[in-house]
Amino acid sequence: MTIPIWALLGFATWTVLLLSFTIGVYRWRRILSGRGAIADFKADQVEGEDWYRRSMRAHANCIENLPVFGAIVLALQASGTSGATVDALSIAIPLARVVQSSVHVGFVETNRSVGVRFSFFCVQLVSFLALIVLIVQHAA
């Protein structure tokens, strides 16, 4: 497997782990302790502790960006675009996502924490765009 495919797998793994160890733990702990029923968690209702609501948003951010990264990795593979820059950018994306999500879940929203989160989101966006440029250059 190529580095971009491993990076995509890492991104997907982080998405599942984030779901399991934040949202899943919160919900199952409430259900198993009798403080909530399995049907109590409505998708359109804001509820729960602050860190839980932030974890819901962090997981949604992962879900929103995973297909974008998947499409880029597919285009990399289909076009045969590769190299050290592609590998470095591909690795930067899931690493920046892990930091962004961790800050999102682990810290109360302040100007500083949101600024850190946004910085790591920008790393991902710049990496996405740089990979797209490399694909287009290689294919042209």
- Rounded CA-CA distance 60/112 in Å is 22
- Structure-token match 């960006």, residue found: 65
Q: Does the pLDDT value for residue 106 go beyond 90?
A: yes
pLDDT band at 97 (very low <50, low <70, confident <90, very high): very high
Beta carbons of 66 and 12 less than 8 angstroms apart: yes
Tell me the longest C-alpha to C-alpha distance in the chain. Answer: 60
Report all structural domains of the chain as residue ranges with CATH numbers, in order of start. 3-139 (1.20.120.550)
DSSP-derived letter for residue 108 is: -
Question: What integer pLDDT is reported at residue 4 of this predicted model?
Answer: 98
Mean pLDDT of 111-135: 98
Total-model pTM:
0.91
- Token pair of 37, please? 């029923």
SS3 46: coil
